[in-house]
């Protein structure tokens, strides 16, 4: 895959991931203006920070992607793999937002 093809693939995945996030947001926020509401509700129920909830959700997709890459033929997918990649990308962003909101000092200084 050359650079141009990669750049187009990256844009396509990004657009798809943005659409997935937009489509799923109402169910996760349950009417809240806070896009992190789901992570906070689950975190409160489990006694853990929202960022750790986001990590668990992210790892669910990593686990599925790992199984698929290791043995594509033996893995039955409940959703298309591109959906898993899109969700994983979105969960990374949501996890970073949770950390930023939790004011993780080390996280907030990265790149400064």
Which residue ranges make up each domain of the chain? 3-109
Query: In this predicted structure, what is the pLDDT of residue 79?
Result: 74
pTM > 0.85: no
> Taking residues 75-95, what's their average pLDDT?
87
What gap in Å lies between CA 13 and CA 8, rounded to an integer? 9
CB 102: neighbour CB atoms within 10 A? 15
Q: Which of the four pLDDT bands, split at 50, 70 and 90, describes residue 20?
A: very high
Tokens of 83: 């959906």
107: pLDDT strictly greater than 90? no
Tokens of 65: 């992607």
Task: Count the alpha carbons within 13 Å of 62 in the hemisphere toward its beta carbon.
Answer: 10
Q: Which of the four pLDDT bands, split at 50, 70 and 90, describes residue 81?
A: confident
What gap in Å lies between CA 55 and CA 96, rounded to an integer? 10
């Amino acid at each position: 895959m050359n650079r141009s093809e990669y750049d187009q693939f990256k844009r396509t995945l990004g657009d798809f991931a943005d659409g997935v996030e937009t489509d799923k947001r109402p169910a996760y926020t349950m009417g809240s203006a806070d896009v992190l509401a789901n992570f906070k509700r689950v975190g409160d129920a489990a006694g853990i920070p929202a960022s750790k909830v986001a990590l668990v959700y992210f790892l669910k997709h990593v686990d599925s992607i790992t199984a698929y890459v290791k043995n594509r033929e033996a893995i039955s997918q409940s959703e298309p793999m591109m959906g898993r990649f899109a969700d994983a990308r979105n969960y990374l962003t949501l996890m970073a937002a949770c950390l930023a909101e939790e004011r993780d000092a080390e996280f907030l200084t990265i790149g400064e």
